[in-house]
Structure 1
Amino acid sequence: MRLFKEKLAWAAPIAVILIIALFSVNLFAQGNPQVKNLPVALIVNDEGQHVDTVRKAVEQMSKGIDGAEPVIAFTNENEENIKALFADKKYYAALVIPEGYNDTLQNALTNNEAAKLQIYINQGFNMTGANFAKTALNGFVTEVNSQYSANFLAQLGTEKIDAAQASVLVNPIVPEEKIYNPITASTANGSAPTLLAVPAWVGALIGGFIVFLATSGIFKKELLTRKQTLGLIGGQVLFGIIIALFSGFTVATLAQIAGINMPSYFLVAFFVSFAAFCFYLLVSAITAWIGKPAITLFMVVMLLGMGVLMTPQEMLPSFFVNFIRPWVPIRFASEGLREIFYFGSGFYTGASFNTILGIGIAGLVIFLLSIFKSVKVKEQQN
């Protein structure tokens, strides 16, 4: 058959394999996530024999099982610093040994009062990571509690106990939870920042590509001087502002209609617009230099990035952490919106804002430099 002799036809199955492979790469990130070295703060506000017992249990937990990396990596911190550390997203949670813990546990059977180990949850950091840390710490408290319960029962032997003592015997240590930076209701279980950030990238990608096609048509019709090319780039930048504002306010409006609990409609709209504009500059810059293949490149970046946006880096394979996660622009928009939604940030969101702004500035500079490429094409044609 003639079709089988056509090289382009044979490119079809190869293209299918490549596309499916790209879509399937995220299976490595999401298929069987292994939690390791989840950062958790250890705050010790007491001292004594029973406090030392908790410390030893923490050390044992930090060693992992059978030489594997531990689920939780503990770091000693002070109580007064924990709010700032949580705001800086240094820890998903904290285990706190409160003041009076040692004496309360020492006299638990006499006073019929259980001792408390406090668990602070930095929920806004990442709900998945915070829930894993919460589950691990609750399991830790349960394990320590079981050891003390067995010891107390052995000490009492055949002595008679009343109902109040029985309760303490079963649970001499109980967890007490406190949530920091809570994930508010109606924010898609903490996924709202990512869900709002993705359209900013998609809008920039599609808008940038359409404007690129329009300018390509102009270049085909006439040869432009550098000054004229610079004017055309200025027009593209103005179009980018329009596209970004349309993107931001469309996203915010649809989110409001969908019932997403936004801290501020205009704040979210303008931040998404800001991110979309900076992404548009990046897309336009790379497209101006390499043409249509740039769109494929950015689509690949988006596909690879989807697997890392909502997953804590402690649950990702090292390849994703080192070579994919740092290069996903959408992540910074998501992190910025997370600051706005759950950490009380204004328009300036710190590191995420700075990174997005850096992307925009770099994109604009590269875009402006493309005028030299246009002049070279003209000289070759002459």
Structure 2
Amino acid sequence: MSILKHKLFIVLPILVLAIIFVFSLTMIPSINPTPKNLPIAIVNEDKGIDVPQQGKMNMGDLIAKNIQTMSSFKSGTDSSVKWISVESNAKVQEGLNRQDYYAALVIPSDFSTKQASLRTANPVSPNIQLYVNQGMNALASNMAAQILNQVIESVNNKIRTDLLTAIDQKGGTLTTKQAAAIASPIVKQVTNVNAIGTHSASGNAPVSLFQPLWMGSIVGGIVFLFIKRKFVLMTRKEKLQANLLQFIWGVVLSLVAGYSFTWFADLWGLNIQHFNDTALFLSISYLSFFLMISAVLSWIGLAGMAIFMLFLFFGTPLLTTAPELLSTFYQDWILTWLPMNFMVKGLREIFFFGHGLSLNHATIVLIWIGVVSFIVLMASSFKRNAKSELLVEMHSLDS
């Protein structure tokens, strides 16, 4: 059959293989994500205790040092945790709200006093406070919580062994109260800060809002490209007017998209606590994306669609993953340059950190993307167009 001799028929298996290979790369970030240098704060407020004939003893210092030197979670290159020493509980709360740490471990001021009581007839188990910063990233914060639970369990095992050895050497017996205290030498108290709450897509609400807004931006850019192609714009003035109209209409579209999308999301059950802030930020994001897409399409036409579809397919898995769970390549060369990453960051601050709409880093970057895209879009008005120039020349000959 002649169809068997067609070049595309023969090349088709290679083409399918190439497409599958390219899009299989989107799976890499989500396959077995492991934390690397996950920032966790550690605070030691223990005031210590005076021990007769031994002087000052601070068990909090010893615990903090042991935690930071544990082989599984040691601080350093390619370790799972990056322990960050912080002065006080108040300072660590500020850091959690600034998204500096995924979690924090706080040793209280009476730790040594209660620790010493475990060897007495009236033992009182010391507390350690654990803070889990849920709003930063649900997956990473859960990993941080698991790491801290393992840390406390390891410390508990060591203290339990030391206490039992000391009691055994003295040939003593345990009371019921002592046995209960030794069973759990340290009591952990876990607090979720910047909690994701309910109806937040398990903390992925910011990412969930990305795809519809991105697709709406693409559709808006493509439709305007077809509109401009339908009308033969022969002069630079006409092109400038068309591009300026595209910008003005983009502002209108952004407000429609931002407010309607926020209303839809709220209607479908997403927890929208700051309606106007969310709607305005989504409007800024839409306008930024719309201008960026329009600018690229105005220069290279529909071929530019491939860029933005790749952004969509490669960007979505990365946006759900914390940077510390990605390879250095994905952190530095992919995630950092994704424009939608700033949309997700801005929405996280509005949804989970109560910052509201402000000129934070994410908003400023989105505005700059829009400004640069606007300049590029307007500059396309001066691009040479062979078809338009031919029509102008024919018009001049006719006149």
- Asked if TM exceeds 0.5, the reply is yes
Q: Cα distance, 1:52 vs. partner?
A: 3.2
Partner of 1:116: 127
The aligned residue for residue 23 of structure 1 is: 23
Counterparts in 2 of 1:69 and 1:163: CA distance versus 1, 3 Å: same
- 1:336-351 → structure 2 map (5 Å cutoff): 336-348=346-358, 350-351=360-361
Whether 2:294 is the aligned partner of 1:263: answer no
| Identical pairs, percent | 30
Q: Check if 1:94 corresponds to 2:104.
A: yes
Deviation for aligned residue 1:354 = 0.7
One of 174, 181, 185 as aligned partner of 1:168: 181
Indicate yes or no: 2:122 matched with 1:137.
no
Q: Which residue of 2 aligns with 1:83?
A: 93
After superposition, what is the alpha-carbon deviation per residue over 1:199-258, rounded to whole angstroms, capped at 9, x for unaligned? 22111112111211221222xxx3421111011012211232233223223321221122
1:192 corresponds to? 205
Q: CA deviation at 1:303?
A: 0.9
Q: What's the CA shift for 1:349?
A: 5.3
CA contact (8 A) 1:62 1:73 kept: no
Mapped partners of 1:4, 1:297: distance in 2? 33
How do residues 175-214 of structure 1 correspond to structure 2 at under 5 angstroms? 175-214=188-227
Deviation of 1:377 after TM superposition, in Å, equals 6.0
1:373 corresponds to 2:383:
yes
Matched AA of 1:36: K
The CA deviation string for residues 268-288 of structure 1, in whole angstroms up to 9 with x for no partner, is: 222112101110000000111
Q: CA deviation at 1:31?
A: 1.2
Equivalence for 1:71: 80
Q: Match for 2:136 among 125, 129, 148? A: 125
**Aligned position for 1:38:** 38
Cα distance in 2, alignment partners of residues 240 and 21 from structure 1: 36
Give the gaps of 5 or more residues in structure 2. 49-56, 394-399
Note the residue ranges of structure 1 that are not aligned, 5 or more in a row: none
* Separation of aligned partners in 2, 1:15 and 1:208: 28
Over residues 1-24 of structure 1, what are the superposed CA-to-partner deviations in whole Å (9 max), with x where a residue is unaligned?
A: 322433344454344333322331
Question: Which residue does the alignment assign to 1:58?
Answer: 67
Distance in 1, Cα, partners of 2:390 & 2:91: 64
* Closer/same/farther in 2, CA of residues 183 and 15 from structure 1, 3 Å limit: same
Deviation at 1:357, TM superposition (A): 0.7
For the 8 Å contact 2:37–2:77, the answer to whether it is kept is no
SS of equivalent residue, structure 1 residue 263: coil
2:141 and 2:70 map into 1 onto residues whose CA distance is: 18
> Aligned equivalents of 2:109 and 2:99: distance in 1?
25
Q: TM-score, normalised by structure 2?
A: 0.89
Structure 1 residues 239 and 312 mapped into 2: Cα distance closer, same or farther (>3 Å)? Answer: same
Work out which of the two has the higher radius of gyration on C-alpha atoms and give 1 or 2: 2
Residue 82 of structure 1: how far off its partner (Å): 1.7
What residue number does 1:321 align with?
A: 331
1:189 match: secondary structure:
coil
Contact 2:45–2:60 (Cα < 8 Å) also in 1? no
CA distance in 2, matches of 1:6, 1:283: 36
Q: Please tell me whether the aligned partners of residues 123 and 182 of structure 1 are also in contact (alpha carbons under 8 angstroms).
A: yes
Q: How far apart in 1 are the matches of 2:112 and 2:333?
A: 47
Supply the distance in 1 between the matched residues of 2:167 and 2:70 (Cα, whole angstroms). Answer: 29
Instruction: Look up the match of 1:232.
Output: 242
Whole-Å Cα distance in 2 between the matches of residues 312 and 246 of structure 1? 31
**Aligned pairs (5 A) from 1:302-313:** 302-313=312-323
Aligned to 1:334: 344
Contact 1:302 1:328 in 2 (8 A): no
- 2:274–2:356 CA contact under 8 A, matched in 1: no
Evaluate the alpha carbon distance shift between residue 322 and residue 202 of structure 1 in structure 2; reply closer, same or farther with a 3 A threshold: same
C-alpha distance in 2, partners of 1:356/1:55?
Answer: 41
* 1:363 equivalenced with 2:376 (yes/no): no
CA 245–357 in structure 1, closer or farther in 2 if over 3 Å, else same: same
Distance in 2 separating the partners of 1:61 and 1:332: 35
1:274-317 deviation line (CA, Å, top 9, x unaligned): 10111000000011111111111110011111111011111112
The amino acid across from 1:154 in the alignment is T
Q: CA deviation at 1:347?
A: 1.7
CA-CA distance at 1:50 after TM superposition = 1.8
Partners of 1:229 and 1:371 within 8 A in 2 = yes
Code of the residue aligned with 1:77 in structure 2: it is: V
Deviations 1:356-375, CA, capped at 9 Å, x for gaps:
11111111011011011146
Alpha-carbon contact 1:119-1:178 (below 8 Å) kept: yes
Instruction: Count matched residues.
Output: 378
Q: Describe the superposition over 1:326-367 as per-residue Cα deviations: whole angstroms up to 9, x where unpaired.
A: 121111111111110111122225111011111111110110
Partner of 2:115: 105
Distance 1:16 1:106 in 2: 69
